[in-house]
Amino acid sequence: MIRTKQYFSHLITCPMRHVIKIITILVAISAIWIGLLQTAVIPNSHTWLLPIYLVVLLGCYGLLMVGVGLMRFPTCPQEAMLLQQDIIEAKEFLKQKGVDFGSD
Amino acid sequence: MEQRKEEKNKYSIIIPTYNERLNIALIVYLIFKHVRDVEFEIIVVDDGSPDGTQDVVKQLQQVYGEDCILLRPRPKKLGLGTAYIHGLKHASGNFVVIMDADLSHHPKYLPSFIKKQLETGASIVTGTRYAQGGGVHGWNLMRKLTSRGANVLAQTLLWPGVSDLTGSFRLYKKSVLEDIITSVVSKGYVFQMEMIVRASRKGYHIEEVPITFVDRVFGSSKLGGSEIVEYLKGVAYLLVTT
């Protein structure tokens, strides 16, 4: 468990360009795909479509993440009010101290 | 032992300004209101504002003291990254906070940044608008959609290790900021992305703190087509160079 964590943190922090990491993963996936084609463990008619499935899956995942994130987007309407109060308080204090910041 | 360590910490708050005559006064007041029992200084890097921002800062110096508020102006608008570098040169603290001057970043979160850093010993504490306890106000649906889409794209491609990449409300250890900022070349909000991604790649310990972000520039949509293109180019650049 700890070794997996260390390996993972090394994966993230080693000085390899990030695009190389992505390419490496793609190459690994391609190798598996070609391997499947060669050995025909799964009927080849299915194997040819696997990359398409993967892309579609990735797309759906992305859309899902965007949708879920959008629904759960944290908002804070009360903060705008609190800010207005803070502004009034600040303006009063600063006026007292003679700071002239002009009209806004 | 830990008490003594805490007393030795000093926080330099760098605020780049351009035409923030009113906001800078409000921000300074709020910083002094919320940051207690901690040694800090505010460094205002003003890019030659024509609206008299520097005059207001000088008045604030009279109220709060010239050792607490440093005015380090520049002749004209020279960009955010260089503003931070300029401010860094004058920073005497061992920690540096960067924040916006337009009150979208509220100083009331400063204690939580400081506390998080002391608790975890992190090199960087970054504010996130997207976590529970944080939030945004003043964004319409389109804005939220682009923000969320951009975030998902960046997370999928870059694995940055933080939830809010473009946020600019951050606390850095001074040495860490100095280390990263020299290798960053981007401008605008891509600059903030590049900073945090490079920090993540270098293995720095980064923590997050939820913050609320009140966008007061209603209606002025900062997200046109060119912004999106700039963003995509930024992500591509970070993909290849970090």
Q: A42 falls in which pLDDT band (50, 70, 90)?
A: confident
Report the C-alpha gap between B5 and B23 in whole angstroms. 33
* CB proximity A60 to B under 8 Å: no
- For residue B170, the one-letter residue type is R
* Its pTM surpasses 0.95: no
- Mean per-residue pLDDT for B212-216? 85
What ipTM was assigned to the predicted interfaces of this complex? 0.81
Determine the pLDDT at residue B88: 93
Interchain pair B201, A18: CB under 8 A: yes
CA of A41, closest CA in chain B: separation in Å?
Answer: 31
Residue of A12, A87, A99 lying closest to B56 (CB–CB): A99
Determine the pLDDT at residue B4: 52
Determine the pLDDT at residue A47: 79
Write phi, then psi, for B222 (nearest 5 degrees): -85, 15
Report the C-alpha gap between A79 and B212 in whole angstroms. 7
Instruction: Compare A102 and A41 and report the one with higher pLDDT.
Output: A41
* CB proximity A5 to B under 8 Å: no
Q: B2 falls in which pLDDT band (50, 70, 90)?
A: low
Among A45-54, A58-67, B106-115, B193-202, the minimum mean pLDDT is found in A45-54
CA distances from B223 to A48, B145, B162, B242 (A): 40, 11, 22, 25
Determine the pLDDT at residue B217: 63
Interchain pair B241, A17: CB under 8 A: yes
* CB proximity A66 to B under 8 Å: yes
Per-residue pLDDT reduced to its tens digit, B157-186: 998 889 998 889 999 999 999 999 988 888
Q: What is the DSSP letter of B109?
A: G
Interchain pair B159, A12: CB under 8 A: yes
Per-residue pLDDT reduced to its tens digit, B94-145: 999 999 998 889 999 999 999 999 999 999 999 999 888 889 988 888 888 8
Task: Report whether pLDDT(A94) > 70.
Answer: yes
* CB proximity A92 to B under 8 Å: no
* CB proximity A52 to B under 8 Å: no
Residue of B138, B139, B152 lying closest to A66 (CB–CB): B152
Average pLDDT score, chain B? 89
Determine the pLDDT at residue A8: 60
Report the C-alpha gap between A57 and A60 in whole angstroms. 5
Interchain pair A79, B106: CB under 8 A: yes
Q: B77 falls in which pLDDT band (50, 70, 90)?
A: confident
Complete DSSP assignment for A20-53: HHHHHHHHHHHHHHHHHHHHTSS-HHHHTTHHHH
